[in-house]
Amino acid sequence: MNKQEFLYQLEEGLTRLNESERGQFVLYYDELIEDYLEDGASEEEAVNTLGKPSKIASKILEEAFEERHFQKKKLSPLMVVLLIIGFPLWGSILLAAILLILSVYIIIWCLPFTTGMFAVLGLAASLFSVCASFFALQDGVYIAVTQMGISIFILGLALLSGLATMNMTNHFIKASKRFSSKIRNLFEGQGLLL
């Protein structure tokens, strides 16, 4: 590989950097190759000494974005003081936002929770009522039969409610995931999440 191919591949590998930074690195490696040539090495030897341009580019990009990442996280003392002083305001707003998001989840899961509880309690009540209808024979056959019929009716409603809960749960899980992804995208778009 000659010098021009090396520099071209290096420049292609650094496309994520802006033009001025990319130009600085290409110029730096151009000068390095020239130094090797002045020391008596051939062009291919100089290029081989430096290594593969793709590896050099990935190392440069890694270091460049690492520096930017660390620079972002640095907070000035003034900012820390302002955050502490402003906590009563932004803390209450943050708490309100969290509770608002929680209330949306509660609203989403209210219907499956209600039908699920009706299924469980209806099943328990109907089984208790079927057993208690034998004791209702003391008051009369018609009362025992009425209680037995109502308990079987409630048992049927409880089973239907249980089936409805199982069917609705998949839809509500999808709705919760969509809402969570919208909230996550909102915060990531604003740069509020790390």
Q: Which stretches of the chain drop beneath a pLDDT of 50?
A: 194
From the list 148, 75, 156, the residue with the least C-alpha distance to 118 is 156
Taking each helix axis as running N to C, give the angle between helix 43-50 and helix 3-13, from 0 to 180 degrees, rounded to the nearest 10: 30
Give the per-residue pLDDT at 115: 94
Q: What is the pLDDT of residue 72?
A: 56
Residue 154 has a pLDDT of 95
pTM of the model: 0.48
Q: Domain limits of the chain?
A: 3-73, 92-190
With 0-12 / 13-18 / 19 or more C-beta atoms within 10 angstroms meaning exposed / middle / buried, residue 160 is middle
